[in-house]
Amino acid sequence: MRADLATLLGILGFALLTMPIYARSAARRTPDALESSARGDFVLGSFVREWFYWFIRPVERASLAVGLSPLFYNLAGALLGILSGVAFAAGMMVAGGWLILGGGAADVLDGRIARARGIASRRGAFLDSTLDRFAEFGAFVGLAVWFRDDVVALTLTVVALGGSLLVSYARARGESVGIVCKVGVLQRAERLLLLGFGGLFDPAVTRALGQSEPGGLIYPVVGLIAVGTVATAIYRIVWIAKRLPLIDEE
């Protein structure tokens, strides 16, 4: 487990070292033609998001070179999310964390590849958002299985799953009545990061707490997601409702 932590810290250290390189590069000053206007604000700021797009550009270019389609990454993201649930259910928190972060990266790549190839469509957007729900559903079901003997943790997991779906539903329902809503804190990217890094650092935190079973960090992370997603869903409902007329004009 300590070797896993050392590997993780090494990867994070390398990632942080590349940020100054990106900040000084021409890419930082050039508008990203493949960025989607549909994405909401990212809690860590636009710099981190833009840096991540730059960081995964070699994968993006390789995918374009070999002809991988957006659908490939749609399906890969859903599969990785479901597999993360399998890992969480077995108490393999580190594997679950890597898998869900990999699914998040696939979720980014599908849209960028579609726009790069000029094949972005409403069909692709529908498949993307729908398969994303399968990925989250799989991850939370796996956590529910792991926490099945703890009533509080199981309840928080169910609330986190329901809250995550409600956040997405509020946006989708708002767009169906002509209101685009991208506000709120715990959107999909933030949820994936919390679950992913929660899983990766769980063994270290669990050891520090003197616990024998995994879950020392993922437990409070799930609780945070439960509270944050329900609050975000309520905020979106109020935000959208205020922008709709009380009575439709004839």
CATH number at residue 86: 1.20.120.1760
Q: Is residue 173 part of a domain?
A: yes
Q: Is residue 181 part of a domain?
A: yes
- Interatomic CA distance for residues 165 and 135, integer angstroms: 11
**Closest to 109 (Cα-Cα) out of 31, 43, 52:** 52
Query: What's the angle, vertex CA 76, arms to CA 46 and CA 96, rounded to 5?
Result: 75
Q: Is residue 205 part of a domain?
A: yes
**What pLDDT score was predicted for residue 38?**
56
**What pLDDT score was predicted for residue 47?**
75
**Low-confidence residues of the chain, pLDDT below 70?**
1-5, 26-45, 247-250
Give me the sign of the Cα torsion angle 221, 226, 229, 234: negative
**Closest to 170 (Cα-Cα) out of 110, 243, 222, 225:** 243
- Domain region containing 170: 40-242
Give the model confidence (pLDDT) of 167-182 as tens digits: 989 998 998 888 888 8
**What pLDDT score was predicted for residue 63?**
93
Q: Is residue 45 part of a domain?
A: yes
Total structural domains within the chain: 1
Cα of first residue to Cα of last residue in the chain, in angstroms, is 65
Q: Is residue 207 part of a domain?
A: yes
**Closest to 36 (Cα-Cα) out of 123, 134, 114, 101:** 114
Q: Is residue 24 part of a domain?
A: no
**Closest to 81 (Cα-Cα) out of 103, 65, 97:** 103
**What pLDDT score was predicted for residue 93?**
94
- Residue 79's CB is within 10 A of a number of other CB atoms, namely 18
**What pLDDT score was predicted for residue 232?**
93
Q: Is residue 202 part of a domain?
A: yes
Residue with tokens 């050392």: 6
Centroid of chain to Cα 46: 16
Q: Is residue 148 part of a domain?
A: yes
